[in-house]
C-alpha cells in the first residue's frame, strides 16, 4: 500500500491494519473515533485545557475559549443522549444537550466558572440569532421554488386545525381531571402555544400581571415551566415521528412538505462539498444571512414584526424573484449545513446553562399538568398529521412543523427539528412558532381584557 503525507487509505481487514504505519494508525483514529463531530483525541485535549482553566479559577468568556467549551460539553451531552437505549432514537440527544446542563447547574455539578462564562457569552453575543438566521436563510435557499410557494400557502390550514383541536382536547382532559377551566386554558394550554419564552411567556406574563393584578414574576414562574414541558413533549414526539418515517417512508418527504417536489439542497450541497464552491462564496452566503437578519431588525423597529419573521419573509421573496445567483445559493447552503451539523449541540448546551431553570421545570412536573400538556401537544400534532395527509402534504413533515407550535421559541425549534432530523423545515417552524404564538397571545389577552376581567 502506497501513501503520501496528503492521502492515505485505511485497510478494511483488521489483519491488514496491523501492517500500516504508526502515522496512518493515528490518522485512522482521528478520522473514525469521534464524539459528535469532534475527533476523540481533540475532544480529550479540549477537556484537559478546559480543566486547566477551571483549576486556575477563571475560564475566559471570549469567543475562542467558548467555542471549545461549548463544543466539548454540547457534543458530550448529545453523544450521551444518542447512545441511550430506545429513547436515543426519539430525540434524546437534543433533550440531553439542553436539560442535562440545566440539571448540572442546579445541583452544582458544573464548575461555577463554566456556568458564569457560558452565561455571559450567550447573553452578550446573542449567538442564537446568528444560528437561526443562518439556518433559516440557508434552508430557504435550499428549497425548490415551487415547493416553497405551495408549502407556505398550505401549511397554515393544518396549523390552524391543530391549534383548535389541541385546545379542545386539552380543555376536555383538564375538566375531566377536575381542574378549573380558567387555569387550564390560560395557565396550561395557552403557554404551550404561546411561541416560546421571549415572544410568548414574557408578553403573556406582562399581560396577566396587568389584567389579573398579579406580580409579573409570579405569573412568569407559573408560565415558564409549562412552556418548557410542552417543548420537551414536542421534542419526544418529533423524534418518534422521525423513527416512524424511517419505518414508513411513504409518509415522509424527509424535510419536504409537498410530494413530488425534491429539494435543491442535495445537488448544490454535493457540488459545494466537492470543492466547486470557494471560500469567498461561502463567506458571502454567511454575510447574506446576517444582512437579511439586520433587515428583519429594521422591520421590527418599524412595524413590530419579530426580526426572525421579517427576515424569513424577505428571504422567501429573494428566493422567489431569483434575487441571488446559483453560486451564492450554494454558499448559503454550505453555511446552513455547517451550522446544522456543527453548532446545534453547542448552542443547546448554552441554552441549558444560561436560560433553562431546572427547579421550575421539576416543580411543574405534576401528574395533572403532564396529562393536560401531553394530550394537548399530541392532539395538535396528530391533527397536523392527518390534515396534512388529507390535503396532499407529507404527513410526518407537517406533524413535525406542528410540534414547533408547542416549542420553546427559537431554541425549541432547533431542538425539535434536530430530534426529528428535519432542520430544513426551519422556515415553516418559525412561522408556526413566531406568527402562531403572537396571534395566540394577542387574541387571548384581548379576550381576557374585554370579556373576563
Q: What are phi and psi of 276, to 5 degrees?
A: -80, -20
| Per-residue model confidence as pLDDT tens digits over 352-363 | 888 777 877 777
Is the pLDDT reported for residue 119 higher than 80?
yes
- pLDDT on residue 367: 87
How many structural domains compose the chain?
A: 2
Tell me if 290 is assigned to some domain. yes
Output the pTM of the full model.
Answer: 0.71
Tell me if 14 is assigned to some domain. no
| Per-residue model confidence as pLDDT tens digits over 237-282 | 999 999 999 999 888 888 888 776 444 333 333 333 445 678 899 9
Whether 117 and 133 map to the same domain: the answer is no
Whether 409 and 381 map to the same domain: the answer is yes
| Per-residue model confidence as pLDDT tens digits over 279-326 | 899 999 999 999 999 998 898 888 877 777 788 788 888 988 888 888
Whether 114 and 160 map to the same domain: the answer is no
CA 377 to chain centre: 17
**pLDDT, mean of residues 44-72:** 93
Whether 51 and 185 map to the same domain: the answer is no
Query: 3-state secondary structure string, 317-352?
Result: HHHHCCCCCHHHHHHHHHHHHHHHHHCHHHHHHHHH
Whether 93 and 185 map to the same domain: the answer is no
Could you list the beta-strand ranges (E) of 29-155: 34-35, 38-39
Give one word for 409, left, alpha or beta, with left for phi > 0 and alpha for psi -120 to 50.
left
Q: Does residue 72 contact residue 66 with C-beta atoms inside 8 Å?
A: no
**pLDDT, mean of residues 13-36:** 78
**pLDDT, mean of residues 115-132:** 88
- Helices and strands counted in the chain (H then E): 24, 2
Tell me if 146 is assigned to some domain. yes
Report how far residue 256's alpha carbon sits from residue 262's, in angstroms, rounded to the nearest whole number: 7
- pLDDT on residue 73: 96
Is the pLDDT reported for residue 368 higher than 60?
yes
Whether 306 and 412 map to the same domain: the answer is yes
Is the pLDDT reported for residue 91 higher than 60?
yes
Which of 124, 153, 182 terminates a domain? The answer is: 124
Whether 318 and 366 map to the same domain: the answer is yes
For residue 398, the surrounding DSSP H or E stretch is: helix 395-403
pLDDT higher at 423 or 91: 423
Report how far residue 50's alpha carbon sits from residue 54's, in angstroms, rounded to the nearest whole number: 6
Whether 341 and 447 map to the same domain: the answer is yes
Tell me if 151 is assigned to some domain. yes
Which of 102, 124, 146 terminates a domain? The answer is: 124
Whether 111 and 141 map to the same domain: the answer is no
DSSP symbol at 110 = S
Whether 146 and 75 map to the same domain: the answer is no
* Residue 44: band (very low, low, confident or very high) from pLDDT cuts 50, 70, 90: very high
User: Grid cell 430530534 — which residue?
Assistant: 419
* SS3 state of residue 35: strand
Whether 106 and 171 map to the same domain: the answer is no
**pLDDT, mean of residues 16-40:** 83
- pLDDT on residue 267: 37
Tell me if 173 is assigned to some domain. yes
Q: How many CB atoms lie within 10 A of CB 328?
A: 18
Tell me if 283 is assigned to some domain. yes
Report how far residue 271's alpha carbon sits from residue 366's, in angstroms, rounded to the nearest whole number: 51
Tell me if 278 is assigned to some domain. yes
Report how far residue 91's alpha carbon sits from residue 89's, in angstroms, rounded to the nearest whole number: 6
Q: Helices in 177-215 by DSSP H: which ranges?
A: 181-184, 190-192, 202-211
* Residues with Cβ within 8 Å of residue 109, at least 6 apart in sequence: 103
Which range marks the domain in which residue 48 is found? 25-124
Which of 124, 141, 163 terminates a domain? The answer is: 124
- Give the three cell numbers for residue 17: 491494519
Amino acid at each position: 500500500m502506497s501513501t503520501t503525507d496528503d492521502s492515505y487509505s485505511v485497510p478494511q481487514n483488521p489483519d491488514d491494519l496491523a501492517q500500516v504505519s504508526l502515522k496512518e494508525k493515528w490518522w485512522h483514529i482521528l478520522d473514525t473515533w469521534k464524539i459528535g463531530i469532534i475527533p476523540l483525541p481533540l475532544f480529550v485535549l479540549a477537556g484537559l485545557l478546559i480543566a486547566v482553566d477551571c483549576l486556575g479559577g477563571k475560564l475566559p468568556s471570549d469567543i475562542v475559549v467558548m467555542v471549545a467549551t461549548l463544543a466539548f460539553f454540547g457534543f458530550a451531552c448529545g453523544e450521551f443522549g444518542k447512545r441511550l437505549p430506545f429513547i436515543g432514537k426519539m430525540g434524546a440527544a437534543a433533550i440531553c444537550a439542553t436539560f442535562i446542563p440545566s440539571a448540572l447547574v442546579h445541583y452544582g455539578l458544573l464548575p461555577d466558572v463554566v456556568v458564569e462564562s457560558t452565561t455571559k457569552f450567550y447573553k452578550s453575543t446573542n449567538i442564537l440569532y446568528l444560528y437561526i438566521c443562518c439556518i433559516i436563510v440557508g434552508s430557504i435557499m435550499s428549497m425548490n421554488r415551487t415547493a416553497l410557494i405551495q408549502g407556505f400557502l398550505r401549511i397554515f390550514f393544518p396549523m390552524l386545525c391543530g391549534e383548535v383541536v389541541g385546545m379542545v382536547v386539552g380543555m376536555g382532559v383538564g375538566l375531566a381531571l377536575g381542574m378549573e377551566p380558567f387555569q387550564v386554558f390560560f395557565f396550561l394550554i395557552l403557554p404551550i402555544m404561546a411561541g416560546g419564552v421571549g415572544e410568548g411567556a414574557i408578553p403573556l406574563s406582562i399581560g396577566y400581571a396587568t389584567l389579573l393584578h398579579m406580580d409579573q414574576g409570579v405569573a412568569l414562574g407559573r408560565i415558564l415551566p409549562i412552556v418548557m414541558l410542552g417543548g420537551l413533549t414536542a421534542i419526544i414526539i418529533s423524534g418518534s415521528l422521525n423513527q416512524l418515517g424511517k419505518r414508513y417512508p411513504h409518509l415522509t418527504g424527509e424535510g419536504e412538505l409537498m410530494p413530488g417536489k425534491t429539494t435543491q439542497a442535495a445537488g448544490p450541497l454535493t457540488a459545494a462539498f466537492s470543492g466547486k464552491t470557494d471560500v469567498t462564496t461561502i463567506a458571502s452566503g454567511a454575510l447574506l444571512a446576517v444582512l437579511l437578519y439586520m433587515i428583519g431588525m429594521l422591520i421590527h423597529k418599524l412595524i413590530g414584526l419579530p426580526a426572525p419573521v421579517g427576515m424569513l419573509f424577505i428571504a422567501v421573496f429573494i428566493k422567489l424573484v431569483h434575487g441571488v445567483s446559483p453560486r451564492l445559493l450554494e454558499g448559503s447552503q454550505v453555511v446552513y449545513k455547517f451550522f446544522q451539523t456543527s453548532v446545534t449541540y453547542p448552542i443547546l448546551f448554552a441554552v441549558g446553562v444560561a436560560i433553562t431553570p431546572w427547579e421550575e421545570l421539576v416543580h411543574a412536573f405534576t401528574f395533572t399538568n403532564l396529562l393536560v400538556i401531553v394530550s394537548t401537544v399530541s392532539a395538535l400534532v396528530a391533527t397536523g398529521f392527518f390534515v396534512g395527509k388529507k390535503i396532499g402534504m407529507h404527513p410526518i413533515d407537517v406533524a413535525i412543523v406542528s410540534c414547533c407550535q408547542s416549542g420553546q421559541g427559537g431554541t425549541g425549534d432547533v431542538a425539535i427539528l434536530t430530534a426529528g432530523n428535519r432542520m430544513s423545515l426551519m422556515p415553516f417552524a418559525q412561522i408556526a412558532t413566531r406568527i402562531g404564538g403572537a396571534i395566540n397571545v394577542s387574541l387571548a389577552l384581548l379576550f381576557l381584557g374585554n370579556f373576563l376581567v
